[in-house]
């Protein structure tokens, strides 16, 4: 995957930008965007020395435009320009005519920069889904931007410190969500967001936001329409003979394989990861889908030794702490594909977040029922439930139901399960805002407007679960393995279609993905349709309890992070004890987060 890097300074001209091949060389440990990585283009933006054009970059005099990705142009005139002269040229012409409003004409995956050095002007933006990242550093008269944080740090005037708030946010979210970053002063653009700098002023906002407006079509018409939308979305990912597909055996990866196979004249290559751990292995479902569609299935079983080998690679690859443990199987799956000659993979990420497939959606619908209970009934029920031990479950339900959304989603968050004073050092707590994560969730949740619980949760997950987490996971692991990745489920036509399906059909009652399952009858295997959601988890906590090397490695890293002074050492000791004597899988999650944090800090 390519990336962009550039800067604009009022004290030096010209402006500069690069388009960098961000493919990783895992054997040498090259980081994305480093100067050693093979090809780059550089253009100077002042002086009127004529036109410069290269893939993804365009310059004409003082105007310098750089595009990473493959935008889908909504304006037919700009689409024609892009086809004839490239996306950077089309963006330049659109910008000259419409200013920043041209961003509304762009869909698909992209990160862009428009620079006018003579006016000290810059416009930065990322795509609607956050498929391509972009971060920036702005201070005084300097603006530095790049797809990867390391690129910004390479500039001699960017010397930020580690953000303590972001350390807290990482442990809360298991990653550092945008707009924050692990470094003070560096900001990541959120999906559909822009930054405009000019005349010593900066403006940032959303040039586009997903609107949830129910279709007036009948349910039967929408069910029939879905198949066409899936085919169109898969075609837009332009699969070729060296394209394979992730296959976990769930609804989305199975659908992507099925549609891909329908469009292919030859059996497609699919790649699956298994675990020799009870409750984690889904290989049987992957085999069912492969047989159902007559696809080639390539399997690999990840071991504890593989996890130990992968952890340093992950710590080096991610430009800020990243705690999604399923990055490990994602890496080995992409690596398996590369070893079989694939250069591109189709991934099924996004289906649950557009068609309502996550278990928390049903759970929150149950809690939301209490909102409709009449006040007089609540006045009678609550005292009784609180006083009678047999009604403990009713009491617990009422307590959770009374927590407002989206705070209620975080009821089981590690940082809400114990007093913060037990987890963190007092000095650290005095320097952070412990309410900031919930404020971030609330701000995004409220942006949707309206009162549709399911659609508001989908919107929230599009930002935090997809853009900040799953896409970051898969993109980076595919980079590390040496393949590119495309997401059929996140193509604009399919996402817009899903947003138009009424919530009552997306989830009928408390059944997850009702609409989708109904539409896929006769296409997916019966076993796939009946399968409950499991995910792509890593049995780290279980393996840590059984594998001596993994246990020693984890505990050594826990001791290392304890010495850094921001955690309460007693909490870490208690965490180890709880993992050994209680729920290994549950407490293994926090141990993994701390191990990956320590490893990242050691490298970076």
Backbone angles phi, psi at 436, to 5 degrees: -60, -40
Q: Which residues of 383-413 are buried (b: 16+ CB within 10 A; e: fewer)?
A: eebeeeeeeeeebebbeebeeebbebbbeee
By CB atoms closer than 10 A (0-12, 13-18, 19+), residue 53 is: middle
> pLDDT tens-digit profile of 505-523?
999 999 999 999 999 999 9
Give pTM, 2 decimals: 0.93
Assess contact for 594 and 558: CB atoms under 8 A: yes
Which residues, 6 or more positions from 360, have their beta carbon under 8 angstroms from its beta carbon?
A: 409, 457
Residues of the chain above pLDDT 70, percent = 93
Q: How far apart are the first and last CA of the chain?
A: 22
Asked whether the CA dihedral 397, 403, 409, 413 is positive or negative, the reply is: negative
CA 126 to CA 135: how far, in whole Å? Answer: 10
Hey, how many other C-beta atoms are within 10 angstroms of the C-beta on 286?
27
Q: Which two tokens stand for residue 24?
A: 């990783």
**In the predicted model, is pLDDT for residue 2 greater than 90?**
no
Residue 534: predicted pLDDT: 65
Average pLDDT, the chain: 91
**In the predicted model, is pLDDT for residue 38 greater than 50?**
no
Q: What is the mean pLDDT of residues 130-157?
A: 94
Helix or strand or coil: residue 401?
Answer: helix
CA 160 to CA 319: how far, in whole Å? Answer: 14
Q: What is the mean pLDDT of residues 323-328?
A: 97
Q: Which two tokens stand for residue 371?
A: 């909102």
**In the predicted model, is pLDDT for residue 69 greater than 90?**
yes
Q: Which residues of 194-232 are buried (b: 16+ CB within 10 A; e: fewer)?
A: bbbbeeeeeebeebbebebeeeeeeeeebbebbeebbbb
Residue 201: predicted pLDDT: 87
Assess contact for 193 and 206: CB atoms under 8 A: yes
**In the predicted model, is pLDDT for residue 304 greater than 60?**
yes
> pLDDT tens-digit profile of 169-215?
999 999 999 999 999 999 999 999 999 998 778 999 999 999 999 99
CA 501 to CA 496: how far, in whole Å? Answer: 9
Residue 50: predicted pLDDT: 47
The strand ranges marked E within 446-529 are 484-486
CA 604 to CA 598: how far, in whole Å? Answer: 10
- DSSP 8-state assignment for residue 268: P
CA 113 to CA 122: how far, in whole Å? Answer: 7
Asked whether the CA dihedral 91, 97, 102, 105 is positive or negative, the reply is: negative
Residue 252: predicted pLDDT: 97
Q: Which residue has the tokens 């997401």?
A: 487
Assess contact for 475 and 32: CB atoms under 8 A: no
Whether omega for the bond prior to residue 264 falls within 30 degrees of 0, making it cis, is: no
Instruction: Give the least confident one: 175-179, 218-222, 281-285.
Output: 281-285
pLDDT band at 37 (very low <50, low <70, confident <90, very high): very low
Distances (CA, A) of 257 to 227, 247, 331: 13, 7, 19
Helix, strand, coil distribution of the chain in percent, nearest 5: 50, 20, 30
> pLDDT tens-digit profile of 45-65?
333 344 555 668 999 988 999
Do the strands 12-21 and 51-54 form a parallel or antiparallel pair, or are they unpaired? unpaired
Asked whether the CA dihedral 141, 145, 149, 153 is positive or negative, the reply is: negative
CA 161 to CA 553: how far, in whole Å? Answer: 28
Hey, how many other C-beta atoms are within 10 angstroms of the C-beta on 415?
17
> pLDDT tens-digit profile of 558-580?
999 999 999 999 999 999 998 98
Residue 235: predicted pLDDT: 96
Q: What is the mean pLDDT of residues 251-273?
A: 97
Q: Which residue has the tokens 């009652």?
A: 509
């Amino acid at each position: 995957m390519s990336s962009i890097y550039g800067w604009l300074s009022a004290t030096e001209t010209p402006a500069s930008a690069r388009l960098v091949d961000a493919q990783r060389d895992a054997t040498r440990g090259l980081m994305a965007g480093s100067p050693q990585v093979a090809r780059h283009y550089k253009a100077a933006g002042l002086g009127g020395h004529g036109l410069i054009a290269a893939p993804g970059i365009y310059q004409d005099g003082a105007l310098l435009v750089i595009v990473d990705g493959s935008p889908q142009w909504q304006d037919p005139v700009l689409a024609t320009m892009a086809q004839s002269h490239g996306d950077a040229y089309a963006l330049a012409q659109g910008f000259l005519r419409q200013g920043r409003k041209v961003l509304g004409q762009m869909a698909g995956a992209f990160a862009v920069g428009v620079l006018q050095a003579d006016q000290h002007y810059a416009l930065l933006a990322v795509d609607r889904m956050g498929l391509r990242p972009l971060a920036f550093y702005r201070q005084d008269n300097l603006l530095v931007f790049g797809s990867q944080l390391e690129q910004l740090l390479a500039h001699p005037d960017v010397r930020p410190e580690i953000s303590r708030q972001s350390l807290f946010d990482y442990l809360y979210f298991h990653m550092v969500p945008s707009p924050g970053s692990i470094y003070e002063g560096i900001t990541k653009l959120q999906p559909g967001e822009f930054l405009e700098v000019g005349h010593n002023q900066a403006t940032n906002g959303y040039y586009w936001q997903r609107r949830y407006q129910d279709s007036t079509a009948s349910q039967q018409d929408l069910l029939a329409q879905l198949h066409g939308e899936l085919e169109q979305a898969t075609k837009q990912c332009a699969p070729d003979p060296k394209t394979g597909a992730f296959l976990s055996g769930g609804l989305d990866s199975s659908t992507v394989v099925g549609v891909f196979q329908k469009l292919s004249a030859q059996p497609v290559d699919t790649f699956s990861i298994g675990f020799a751990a009870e409750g984690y292995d889904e290989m049987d479902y992957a085999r069912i889908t492969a047989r159902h569609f007559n696809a080639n299935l390539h399997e690999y079983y990840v071991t504890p030794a593989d996890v130990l080998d992968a952890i340093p690679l992950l710590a080096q690859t991610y430009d800020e702490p990243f705690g999604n443990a399923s990055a490990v199987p994602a890496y080995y799956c992409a690596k398996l594909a590369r070893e079989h000659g694939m250069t591109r993979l189709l991934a099924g990420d996004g289906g649950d977040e557009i068609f309502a497939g996550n278990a928390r959606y049903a759970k929150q619908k149950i809690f939301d029922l209490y909102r409709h209970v009449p006040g007089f009934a609540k006045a009678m029920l609550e005292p009784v439930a609180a006083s009678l031990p047999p009604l403990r479950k009713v009491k617990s339900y009422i307590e959770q139901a009374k927590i407002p959304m989206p705070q209620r989603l975080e009821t089981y968050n590690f940082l809400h399960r114990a007093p913060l004073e037990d987890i963190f050092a007092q000095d650290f707590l005095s320097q952070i805002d412990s309410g900031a994560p919930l404020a971030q969730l609330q701000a995004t949740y409220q942006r949707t407007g309206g009162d549709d619980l399911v659609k508001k949760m989908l919107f929230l997950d599009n930002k935090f679960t997809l853009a900040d987490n799953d896409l970051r996971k898969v993109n980076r692991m595919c980079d590390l393995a040496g393949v590119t990745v495309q997401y059929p489920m996140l193509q604009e036509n399919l996402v817009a279609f899903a947003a138009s399906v009424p919530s009552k059909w997306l989830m009928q009652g408390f059944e997850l993905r009702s609409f989708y399952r109904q539409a896929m009858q006769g296409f997916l295997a019966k076993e796939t349709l009946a399968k409950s959601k499991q995910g792509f988890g890593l049995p780290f906590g279980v393996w840590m309890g059984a594998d001596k090397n993994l246990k020693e490695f984890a505990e050594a890293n826990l001791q290392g992070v304890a010495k850094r002074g921001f955690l309460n050492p007693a909490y870490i000791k208690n965490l180890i004890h709880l993992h050994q004597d209680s729920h290994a899988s549950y407490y293994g999650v926090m141990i993994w987060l701390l191990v990956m944090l320590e490893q990242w800090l050691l490298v970076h």
